Amino acid sequence: MSGAARVRIAHGVAIHGGVGTLTPERMTPELKAAYEADLAASLQAGRSALDQGGDAVDAVVAAVCVLEDSPHFNAGRGSNYDERGVITMDASIMRGADGDAGAVAGVTGVRNPVVLARRVMERSEHLMLIGEGAEAFARTQGLEPVDPGWFGTERRRAELLRALERRGGRPNVLGDAEPTSDPTSKAGTVGAVALDRSGTLAAATSTGGMAGKTWGRVGDTPIIGAGTWASPRCAVSCTGWGEYFIRLALAHAVEARMALTGASLSEAVRAVIWDELARQVPRSGGLVALDADGHVELCFNTPGMYRGWVGEDGVPHVDIWGEGTS
């Protein structure tokens, strides 16, 4: 379950589609093929952005947009419903070269929240916008509005009903269900990290949050340093039970271990996922990461994580379960 790719690329993209995977027994061959096709398309979009002269930010946005547009992942279309039966989405992005970042939380009518997060980073004086204010800013940027109903799927409606039934119809109180009771309801998120030809790193993450989450709940995804981090040293995008990622500032913890202890990227991600996070709550998350030397890490302490990477040869590598990709 380490999920490490143990590869090195000159430039490229690594992605995740969340640790909330279906078990092999529940995954039909057709559905598995659909997930793998979406992951490959995401990698190809990120790779294409780099091939066309784009930078790492362009690559992570392109990769995440594909996953947001797919109904299979808990981000954009296919996002989870909150306890009211409303879909609210969060996203963030960070550029490693200068530490610039942008984030949005609680948006309901923006097709690609990651694009809005990028606009916050590049076209506002702020780092995070939320709710109606974020939606208003999206309109000033000419971003494509969509009816909130477009994001919903039958699968997510069923997951909401199950989440409410487990609580006897009560509003969500954090911690009233075991973290492993339904990992697909808590851990779905998508993200990407990229290294471009100039050596710049970037990371982006997007989510619909927990199934049946409390109205107004925000997890780690839009929190810089918790769900997303990028610096000249490394880029990290996380997936899992967000409250614990926030407590541990988990994405930044990878950077901190590398900077303060001299740990390699591989050593750092294993320490934060298998030691720090697992000690707080077992089987609860994962991440994808890249360092400035092109080392790729896809690490998780759960049964699986939708994931993949692509290097300079343009060949996408994707996986769901097992020990990792190669």
pLDDT of 2 reads 46
For the beta carbon of residue 316, count every other beta carbon within 10 angstroms.
Answer: 22
* Residue with tokens 């039909």, as numbered in its chain: 28
Q: pLDDT tens digits for 82-122?
A: 999 999 999 999 999 999 999 999 999 999 999 999 999 99
Domain ranges of the chain: 7-321
What sections of 229-311 are H helices per DSSP? 242-248, 250-261, 265-270, 278-280
> What's the Cα-to-Cα distance from 122 to each of 103, 119, 152, 190, rounded to whole Å?
11, 5, 29, 21
Classify residue 211 as left (phi > 0), alpha (psi -120 to 50) or beta.
beta
State the greatest distance between any 2 C-alpha atoms of the chain, in Å, as a whole number.
Answer: 54
pLDDT of 25 reads 87
Model confidence band, residue 3 (pLDDT cutoffs 50, 70, 90): very low
Closest to 291 in 3D by CA, of 253, 249, 236? 236
Q: pLDDT tens digits for 225-278?
A: 999 999 999 999 999 999 999 999 999 999 999 999 999 999 999 999 999 999
Burial of 258 (0-12, 13-18, 19+ CB in 10 A): buried
Burial of 326 (0-12, 13-18, 19+ CB in 10 A): exposed
Topology annotation, domain 7-321 = Glutamine Phosphoribosylpyrophosphate, subunit 1, domain 1 (3.60.20)
Report the amino acid identity of residue 248: L
In the predicted structure, residue 149 carries a pLDDT above the cut 50 = yes
Looking at the DSSP assignment, which residues form a beta bridge with residue 285?
240
* Residue with tokens 């541990």, as numbered in its chain: 248
Q: pLDDT tens digits for 167-199?
A: 776 655 434 433 334 444 445 799 999 999 999
* Residue with tokens 């808990």, as numbered in its chain: 74
Q: Running DSSP on this structure, what letter comes out for residue 224?
A: B
88 backbone dihedrals φ, ψ, rounded to 5°: -125, 140
Catalytic residue, from 184, 189, 239, 302: name it: 189
Give CA–CA dist 309/319, Å, rounded: 9
Give CA–CA dist 142/313, Å, rounded: 35
Q: Is 189 a catalytic residue?
A: yes
Tell me what the pLDDT averaged over the chain comes to.
91
